């Protein structure tokens, strides 16, 4: 994948799980503002600082954030897991995995 210019679409702040923020798969980062921009940009964790937009960003392009997130999750075959997270009602990545009795990736 080659580097592309970030469109500030917000998908990377919703779709993936982010262990450094205890953010589960498919749920919005608590720092994601209504304009799809980071409200803690200057203090964001290293994983967010290191993220580089790539061809996947172009592949998941859609008119809405929800559409982009759905395409991201489908690309990695994570839609069912993300739906499990949403249905659980848990907003903590650690709590979700503890309830399932498994150790999350990146833990």
Residue 69: inside a domain: yes
Residues of the chain with pLDDT under 50: none
Asked if residue 32 is part of any domain, the answer here is yes
Query: How many domains does the chain fold into?
Result: 1
Q: Is residue 5 domain-resident? A: no
Q: Is residue 77 part of a domain?
A: yes
Give the model's pLDDT for residue 19: 86
Domain that holds residue 54: 11-96
28 assigned to some structural domain:
yes
| Inter-axis angle of helices 79-88 and 65-75, nearest 10 | 120
Query: Using CA atoms, how far apart are residues 53 and 57, in angstroms rounded to an integer?
Result: 6
Task: Check the CA dihedral 84-89-93-98 and report its sign.
Answer: negative
Q: Please tell me the predicted confidence (pLDDT) of residue 80.
A: 95
pLDDT tens per residue across span 57-86: 999 999 999 999 999 999 999 999 999 988
Domain contains 75: yes
Structure confidence at residue 20 (pLDDT): 87
């Amino acid at each position: 994948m080659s580097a592309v210019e970030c469109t500030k679409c917000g998908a990377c702040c919703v779709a993936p799980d982010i262990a450094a923020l205890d953010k589960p798969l498919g749920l919005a980062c608590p720092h994601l503002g209504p304009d799809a921009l980071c409200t803690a940009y200057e203090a964001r964790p290293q994983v967010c600082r290191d993220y580089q937009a790539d061809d996947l960003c172009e592949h998941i392009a859609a008119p809405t954030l929800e559409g982009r997130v759905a395409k991201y999750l489908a690309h990695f075959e994570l839609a069912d897991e993300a739906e499990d997270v949403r249905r659980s009602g848990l907003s903590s990545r650690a709590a979700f995995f503890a309830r399932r009795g498994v150790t999350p990736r990146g833990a």
